[in-house]
A and B are shown apart, each in its own frame.
Chain A
Amino acid sequence: MSADRPDLVIQGLGKRFGATVALDGVDLRLPGGSLVCFVGPSGCGKTTLLRVIAGLETPTTGHLLLGDRDLTRVPVHRRDVGMVFQSYALFPHLTVAENVAYGLRIRGVKRRERLARAQELLELVQLPDVADKRIAELSGGMRQRVAMARALALDPALFLLDEPLSALDAKLREGMQVELRRLQRRVGITTIIVTHDQEEAMAMADLVVVMGDNRVQQVGPPLEIYRRPVNRFVANFVGRNNFLPARVVASDAVEVAGVRATVARDLPVPPVGSDVTVAARPEMLRLRAQAPAGPALRGTVSMVRDLGRAVETRVRVHEQELVVSGRGGFAEGDEVWVELPDAGLVALAA
């Protein structure tokens, strides 16, 4: 976004705790000024990676560069990062304003000056009236904002957030996602958010880093991750997917249960003749009462759930159950055709 913000480059980063591997050969380039989400199931190494970037953990191997500055051995207090911890880690013995101004106090900024700056930051996170309150007097959502204001107080080179929204209830969380995104646009600081919630990552990030099994599985913009997962782990973790066994019959086509269907373009397809798994999103499948012109699989409706914004229909096809999301209109026991999308299937190594 802003040209003066340097990229964060991670090269061959590894971290072990005793015999346990927490991070295994991570290579990443995060563009300066962007909002990046590290997403993955718990224990995948995403928080460790964030803590290594913050300087709270020392990597076992590899390098960390911010522009041409090597951060690998720089201790946390000289690294110029702002961090929001999962517990928020606000100081209970200080007031809200003193919390926000803590970093300025450490730098020796005069009291009046730093409290004025704290007030500015509190206004930035839309909490203009809580400066003199104690942390214990604030709600969870307010603490969240105070933690963000505090992390931004020193105008850091990197803004790091560890599961920042996980303690909030669903409604508040959605509001905060939007607000966090706006805040990040305004300050323009390179931001990394760790989350286990893939929807949250999709909703906020410029760039999503999907992690699994202590390594990076895929990096890309949210839509690319969603539409073009590179492996079964990503296809399964991000959003919902139907998986079907298939065989590659051409450079752009597979055969699924005797039906020939085209696969997504601009994705590498395994060589002709190999067995693969194809992934199809529930909303990419269509239900038809009559056999359509395109490729389709015949099956029986086994369950219908009306979810409000869409109807989820489960269809038994051979030995498998496919989930289709759409307008519905079918009842349990109906014989239907599940139409496969044109160039929408993703072929993954089986």
Chain B
Amino acid sequence: MSAPAARPGSAPAPASAASSGRGDGPWPHVLLAWPTVALTVLFLVPLGIIAALGFFRRIQAGFFEVAFVTDNYARALDAFHLERLTVSVVLALAATLVTLLLAVPFTFLLTRRPRARQVPYLVLVLASLSLSEVIVAFAWSLLLSRTSGVSNLLVAIGVMDAPASWSPGLPAVLLAYVFIALPLAVLSLYPTFSRLDQELPEAAGTMGATPLAGFVTVVLPLVRRAVAATGALVFIFVLGAYVIPQTLGRPAQWTMPVQITDQAIMKNHLPLAASLAIVLLVVSSLIAVAIVALGTGRWPRLALPRRAR
């Protein structure tokens, strides 16, 4: 390994040079295997356990016993839970749409600025990413409350007549969803937007395109993959939140994660919670794939091995 071959004046040692030239050893393989191992041990195995748990039989006033019953999955797909699932998906899609409508122009304008001026914004974005969902949910529930919320400020400056309560409710849930998803979306869009040639929208301008027309006809087509991927990311991220809908939402906005928590922790019905989780996972994966496909115009060819060659 060390010194002799490199020491000036000494005769070269071909054998040791050859071995040190190859000298990778098993370590790179071990390190590179880590994501696979982690994915298997920490994700696929627990996922298998949860999927199996969905078939176990619940014992009233107890825990559960190993069995094979389909009641839990049947209940997970009953009218009540399908309605909750629909509400969850619609809410998450709405939050994704609003987040993208804010994040895309924000990131575009941010990356048009000189590099040095972008840094403070990026630091702020990163900082707000460090806030956990719990903190965000409780902070907004205070800010939107009648007793101590921002409506009191509006009353003080004469915009409103009396303080109002804006939480819980649909706007509060959407607001908090967008709040936690926005920094994530900006960071996900940032690399693509900063690689975009600044002269492209300028060229569109010289050919008579207004800034908006240039953005729609030149910038958007070039970033749509990144926008689609960000949409899928935000959708999954928001769909998994449960403190926000529980804290800032009325029962009408209680999403699947709220139901799962309720079953798993309050009602101690782990098999039903597990089957609900699996249903949510399948549906959200399908929708995320659909979002990416919609954005890129390419649908994954999963089980269609129609290779003519």
Contacts and interface: CB of A to CB of B under 8 A. Distances in A.
Contacts of B197: 87, 89
Contacts of A160: 206
Interface in B133-182: none
B202 interface: yes
A82 interface: yes
A122 interface: no
Interface in A62-107: 75-79, 81-83, 85-87, 89-93, 102-103, 105-107
A85 B202 contact: yes
A85 B217 contact: no
A76 B205 contact: yes
A306 B72 CA distance: 94
A265 B149 CA distance: 84
A150 interface: yes
Contact of B199 (A77, A79, A89): A89
Interface in A109-166: 150-151, 153-154, 160
B interface bracket (residues with beta carbon within 8 Å of A): 10 to 19
B44 interface: no
A54 B211 CA distance: 15
A314 B33 CA distance: 68
A93 B221 contact: yes
Contacts of A350: none
A151 B206 contact: yes
B117 to A, nearest CB: 11
B203 A77 contact: no
B203 A85 contact: yes
Given A93-B222, A106-B217, A77 B202 contact: no
A77 B210 CA distance: 6
B208 interface: yes
A153 B209 CA distance: 14
Interface in B4-34: none
A71 B35 CA distance: 60
B206 A83 contact: yes
Given A92-B222, A93-B221, A93-B222, A106 B209 contact: yes
A56 interface: yes
B77 interface: no
Interface string B200-244: 101111111111011001100110000000000000000000000
A77 B213 CA distance: 10
Contacts of B213: 77, 106
A3 B207 CA distance: 25
Contacts of A76: 202, 205-206
B209 A77 contact: yes
Contacts of B210: 77
Given A93-B221, A93-B222, A106-B213, A150 B199 contact: no
Given A102-B209, A150-B207, 11 more contacts: A56-B202, A76-B202, A77-B213, A77-B214, A85-B202, A89-B200, A92-B222, A93-B221, A106-B204, A106-B209, A160-B206
Interface of B: 197, 199-200, 202-211, 213-214, 217-218, 221-222
Q: Nearest 6 pairs between A and B by C-beta?
A: A103-B207, A89-B203, A89-B199, A76-B205, A83-B206, A85-B199
